[in-house]
Amino acid sequence: MEVMAYRTELNPTNKQIGLIHQYCGTVRFAYNWYLDAAKAYYAECGLFLTGYAFSKALNNSKRPEWFTEAPSKSVKHAIMCAERAYRRFFKRQSGFPRYKRRNTNRDSFYVICSIHVERHRIRLPKLGWVKLKEKGYVPTRQEPKSATISIVNGRYYVSVLYEAQDPAPIQPTGEPLGMDVGLKNLAVLSDGTVFMNINKTNRLRKLEKRKRRIERMITRRYLANKGKDKVHGWHNYRKAIMEKWRIERRLNNRRVEYMKWVCAQVVRRQPSSLTIEHLNVKGMMKNRHLAPALHKQGLSVFLELVEQVCHKHGIELRRVSAWYPSSRLCHVCHRKNTSLVLGQYEWRCPVCGTLHDRDLNAALNLRDASEYQDL
C-alpha cells in the first residue's frame, strides 16, 4: 500500500482560527511537559519514562480545562513524538530534544477519526466543517486516515493522508541520463539541457532585496519598542515580522515549484536510468562562504524530489560517490585534470585538446559511471 498526502489551504472562520491556535498551544505544552517529566523521572529513578506511561498518568490526574478541550489524539501524538525524540537522545543517537516555542511562523497539530471531505470543505474533530480555498483537490470518495492542521506564516493548511494502491510504474525506454547539480546552475543534464539557478532571476532578486529591507526595519522597530508594554505596543514590529514571513513564503513557493518543474522535465525524457552524485549538503553548509548560496539553492530538497519522482515513474536512480572526480575527468580520453579549481567553469584537456564545460562534462561522466549505488 502506498500513502498519499494532499495538502491544501484552509479558509477558517475567526472562531476556528482561535481554536486552531489554542490546540496548537495545547499540543506544544504537552510536548514540553513530557520532556520535563522525563528529565525529572530519570533524575529521581534513573529510568526511561515512556510516552504511554506519561499519557496514562496524565489521563488519571487533574488537568486544566483548556488542556482537555483539545483533541485527545492530538495530545497523545505530541507526547509520542516527544518520546521518540527523547529515546534517540537516550540511545545517544542525537542531542537532547529542543523545547517547542511560542510565536514561531510554524505550528501544527495532528488529528485522526471523524474526518470527512467534501468538494469545498472538510470536517475536522473539534473544529467542525472548515472551508477549503482550493475546491475539488482533496479526494472525496475514500475515507482519510489522518490529517495535520498547520500554521505557516500566518496561513492555515491541512494535509490529509490516504491509503492508495501502489500502481506498477511504466518501464521507461529512453537513453540513460547523468545530472550534475550545483550553484551556478541548478542542474545540467548529459543531453546538454541546462536548468538555470532561479535565484539569479530579477523576480527573486527583488524579493531578496525587499526581505533585507524588512529585516533592517524589524531591527529598528525592535530597538524603538524596547521597554514598552507588549499588549498595547509592538504593533508595527509584529506587522514587519508578518511581512517578512510573507516574503519568505513567496520565495520558498517559487523555488519549490521551479524544482518540481525541473523534475517534470526530466521525467518527460523517460530515461532508463538517472545518475546523480551523492552530495554531503550538511557538510557543505559548514563552509561559511558557500552556506548562504546553498541555503537558497535548496539542494537537499531538490535531490529528495528527484528521488521521489524516479521512484514514482520507475526510473532507476543511481548515485555515485561524492569523491568520484566527475568534473576533473575528460569524458573523451578519461584523463584526470588535477589542477582544476572550484571557480573554473571551462577547461581544455591537455591530452586530446577537447574544450569542456565543467558542468556538462560532469553530467557526461556521471552518465558513463560504472560504480554506483542503486536506490
Tens of pLDDT along 35-64? 999 999 999 999 999 999 999 999 888 888
Task: Please write the tens of the pLDDT for every residue from 337-355.
Answer: 888 887 788 888 888 888 8
In eight-state DSSP terms, residue 171 is P
Tell me what the mean pLDDT of segment 231-245 comes to.
86
| Band (132; pLDDT cuts 50, 70, 90) | very high
Distance CA 94, CA 36 (A): 18
Q: Please give the residue that has the higher pLDDT: either 372 or 294.
A: 294
Q: Please give the residue that has the higher pLDDT: either 115 or 334.
A: 115
Tell me what the mean pLDDT of segment 16-37 comes to.
95
Q: What is the pLDDT of residue 133?
A: 94
The proportion of the chain whose per-residue pLDDT surpasses 90, expressed as a percent, equals 55
Distance CA 14, CA 352 (A): 71
Q: What is the pLDDT of residue 352?
A: 83
Strands of the 121-124 sheet, one edge to the other: 106-112, 146-152, 155-164, 2-11, 128-132, 121-124, 116-117
Looking at domain 174-199+239-375, its CATH architecture is: 2-Layer Sandwich (3.30)
Tell me what the mean pLDDT of segment 205-214 comes to.
96
Given a contact cutoff of 8 angstroms between Cβ atoms, the answer to whether 281 and 258 are in contact is no
Inform me whether the pLDDT recorded for 169 exceeds 70: no
Q: Which of 212, 213, 239 is nearest to 225 (CA)?
A: 239
Q: Which of 113, 121, 154, 123 is nearest to 24 (CA)?
A: 154
Q: How many CB atoms lie within 10 A of CB 74?
A: 23
Number of H helices, E strands in the chain: 10, 15
Q: How many CB atoms lie within 10 A of CB 31?
A: 21
Out of 24-38, 206-220, 284-298, which region has the weakest mean confidence (pLDDT)?
Answer: 284-298
Tell me what the mean pLDDT of segment 31-38 comes to.
95
Tell me what the mean pLDDT of segment 107-114 comes to.
91
Distance CA 95, CA 86 (A): 9
Cell of 351: 591530452
| Segments in the chain forming alpha helices (H) | 14-45, 51-59, 65-68, 72-90, 202-225, 235-268, 281-284, 291-297, 299-313, 358-367
Q: What is the pLDDT of residue 167?
A: 66
| Average pLDDT score, the chain | 89
Q: 24: burial class by Cβ within 10 Å (0-12, 13-18, 19+)?
A: buried
- Classify the phi-psi angles of 13: left when phi > 0, otherwise alpha if psi is within -120 to 50, otherwise beta: beta
| Band (168; pLDDT cuts 50, 70, 90) | low
Residue extent(s) of CATH 3.30.420 domains in the chain = 174-199+239-375
Cell of 269: 525524457
Residues contacting 339, CB < 8 A, separation 6+? none
Inform me whether the pLDDT recorded for 374 exceeds 70: no
Query: 192 — phi, psi (to 5°)?
Result: 100, -5
Tell me what the mean pLDDT of segment 265-280 comes to.
90
Inform me whether the pLDDT recorded for 104 exceeds 80: no
Inform me whether the pLDDT recorded for 272 exceeds 80: yes
Inform me whether the pLDDT recorded for 303 exceeds 60: yes
The proportion of the chain whose per-residue pLDDT surpasses 70, expressed as a percent, equals 97
| Segments in 159-234 forming alpha helices (H) | 202-225
Look at the chain and count its residues. 375
In this structure, the strands spanning 185-189 and 194-196 are antiparallel
Q: What is the pLDDT of residue 296?
A: 92
Inform me whether the pLDDT recorded for 284 exceeds 80: yes
Q: What is the pLDDT of residue 357?
A: 86
Residues contacting 239, CB < 8 A, separation 6+? none
Tell me what the mean pLDDT of segment 239-255 comes to.
92
Distance CA 189, CA 266 (A): 9
Q: What is the pLDDT of residue 264?
A: 94
Q: What is the pLDDT of residue 373?
A: 63
Please tell me the pTM assigned to this model. 0.83
In eight-state DSSP terms, residue 96 is P
Given a contact cutoff of 8 angstroms between Cβ atoms, the answer to whether 275 and 179 are in contact is yes
| Band (375; pLDDT cuts 50, 70, 90) | very low
Tell me what the mean pLDDT of segment 101-107 comes to.
83
Distance CA 375, CA 369 (A): 15
